[in-house]
A = this chain, B = another copy of it.
Amino acid sequence: MSGSVFGKIFQVSTFGESHGAALGAIVDGMPAGVKIDREFLNNEMLRRRPGQSAMTTARNESDQVEILSGVLDDVSTGTPIALLIRNADQHSKDYSNIAEIFRPGHADFGYFAKYGIRDVRGGGRSSGRETCARVAAGALAKMFLKTLNVNICAWSSEIAGVKARAFDPEEIERNPARCPDKTAALAMQQAAADARSRGDSVGGIVKCRISGIPAGWGEPVFDKLDARLAYAMLSLGGVKGIEFGDGFAAAGLRGSENNDPMLPGKTFASNHAGGILGGISTGAEIDFTIAVKPTPSISMEQNTVNIRGEAQKITITGRHDPCIVPRIIPVVEAMAAIVLADFALLNRCSKL
C-alpha cells in the first residue's frame, strides 16, 4: 500500500530512490496566499546536503529543487505544489558487488522479503537520500508556520557519547556537529573522525524545541500532537526512539514532581510535559528528544548472508557518513513542520 503519503489536510506525498532519476514531493493542502521563499528553500536543502564536513559523506548532491506547480508570482495558489530534485551523482556501479547480499543494519532483507525484488542501488527507497524530499516539503510547511510565528529548532545534544553541556543557540549552525556547545562540538567531530578512521560509525541524540504553538493544537484521541510527532520522527530510518519533555526520566518521578503547576496568566511553572498534555498543546514550548543509531554503512568487514541464505562477508565501500546526526537535524525540523502545519489547519475546524 501507499505509505508514502503523510498528513490529513497538509498532505505530503514523496517519491524517489537513492539512484533513480529524481526524488521529490507533492505538497497538497498548502493554503493559498503563503509567500514562497525560494532562497529559504534552497538554504534548507543546503543544510541537509552531504559533504559539509568530515563528519558527513563526500557525495556531491547539489539538490536543486524545482517548483513545478502551485505557485504563482511567488505566492501559493492553494493547489498542489510539486517539488523536483534531480539525482545528479548516481554512481550506481558502486553497488553492483552487493546486489545479492543483505547489508547488516539496513532494510535490504526486509524489502526483499516484502517485495520479492529490491533496488540495490544505494538502498533504493530505503536510503537516507529520500529525506531530501521531506526537507523540501518541510521548507514549505515552515513558510506557512512562519506566518503563525511558530519556530522550530533542532540540534545535536550528544554524538558518540559526547554530550553538549552548554546551550548557545547561535552556535548550532556554526559548527559541523550542529551542537550548541562549541567545545563539545569539537569533541563530537573528533569522535566521528576516529570512528571513520577505523571504518566504523557513531550515533547520537537530537533535541528539538518548538515555540509559538498556542494551547489547543492536537486532536483527541489517536491524533494527539505527540503521537503524530512520534509517527513522523520514527518514520526516519535511523531514529530508534523519541521522548517528550522529561520522557523516560518522567517514569521515575512522582506525580507531585512531574505535574507542571499552572500560574496566573495560564503559563506553567515548569515544563516536564514538554508542552503537550493529553495530546494537546499547552502553550508552553514543545520539547522532544530522539535517538539516532550509528550509520549502518561501515567499511569494516561484517558477517551476513546473501539472498540464498548463504554466509557471506561484506565490506561496504563508497561514501557514507560516519555520523548522520548533524544531517538529520534539518530533516527532523522538516517533519515537525509538516506535522504542525497539518495541526494548524485541523485546529481551524475545532469550534463552531
Are B223 and A277 closer than 8 Å at their CB atoms?
A: no
Q: How far is the CB of A119 from chain B (nearest CB, A)?
A: 5
Q: Which of A37-45, A49-57, A108-116, A168-176 contacts B (4 or more CB under 8 A)?
A: A108-116
A215 an interface residue at 8 Å Cβ cutoff?
A: yes
Are A243 and B241 closer than 8 Å at their CB atoms?
A: yes
Are B350 and A77 closer than 8 Å at their CB atoms?
A: no
Q: Chain A interface residue count: which class? A: 35 or more
A317 an interface residue at 8 Å Cβ cutoff?
A: no
Are A250 and B242 closer than 8 Å at their CB atoms?
A: no
Are B298 and A351 closer than 8 Å at their CB atoms?
A: no
Give the residue of B1, B104, B144, B251 whose beta carbon is less than 8 angstroms from that of A262.
Answer: B104
Complex: A241 Cα to B241 Cα, angstroms = 7
Which B residues are in CB contact (< 8 Å) with A234?
224, 226-227, 229-231, 242, 244
Contacts A22-B68, A251-B293 given; does A29 touch B11 at CB 8 Å: no
Are A221 and B241 closer than 8 Å at their CB atoms?
A: no
Q: How far is the CB of A124 from chain B (nearest CB, A)?
A: 7
Q: How far is the CB of A193 from chain B (nearest CB, A)?
A: 13
Which B residues are in CB contact (< 8 Å) with A106?
277-278
Give the residue of B105, B221, B258, B296 whose beta carbon is less than 8 angstroms from that of A294.
Answer: B258
Give the residue of B107, B259, B303 whose beta carbon is less than 8 angstroms from that of A278.
Answer: B107
A261 an interface residue at 8 Å Cβ cutoff?
A: yes
Complex: A316 Cα to B107 Cα, angstroms = 49
Contacts A222-B235, A293-B251, A303-B269 given; does A1 touch B5 at CB 8 Å: no
So how many copies of this chain end up in the complex?
A: 4
Are A220 and B3 closer than 8 Å at their CB atoms?
A: yes
Complex: A201 Cα to B14 Cα, angstroms = 40
The proximity string for A residues 287-315 relative to B, scoring 1 for CB distances below 8 Å and 0 otherwise, is 00001111111101011110001110000
Complex: A180 Cα to B176 Cα, angstroms = 45
A121 to chain B: closest residue by CB: B72
Of the listed residues A240, A249, A257, the one surrounded by the most CB atoms of chain B closer than 10 A to its CB is A240
Give the residue of B3, B9, B67 whose beta carbon is less than 8 angstroms from that of A222.
Answer: B3
Which 4 pairs between the two chains have the least Cβ-Cβ distance?
A107-B278, A3-B219, A110-B280, A241-B243
Apart from A4-B222, A113-B215: 20 A-B pairs, beta carbons within 8 A: A2-B8, A3-B28, A3-B29, A4-B219, A9-B349, A15-B28, A15-B79, A15-B82, A21-B66, A22-B84, A23-B68, A78-B117, A114-B217, A115-B216, A130-B221, A158-B251, A200-B255, A205-B251, A227-B230, A230-B242
A-B contact pairs, 28 of them (CB 8 A): A2-B29, A4-B80, A5-B222, A8-B9, A11-B13, A16-B69, A29-B349, A33-B117, A34-B352, A72-B124, A84-B84, A107-B279, A113-B216, A114-B218, A125-B220, A126-B280, A203-B252, A230-B230, A231-B231, A240-B248, A240-B250, A240-B274, A242-B242, A243-B248, A251-B292, A255-B296, A259-B296, A345-B349
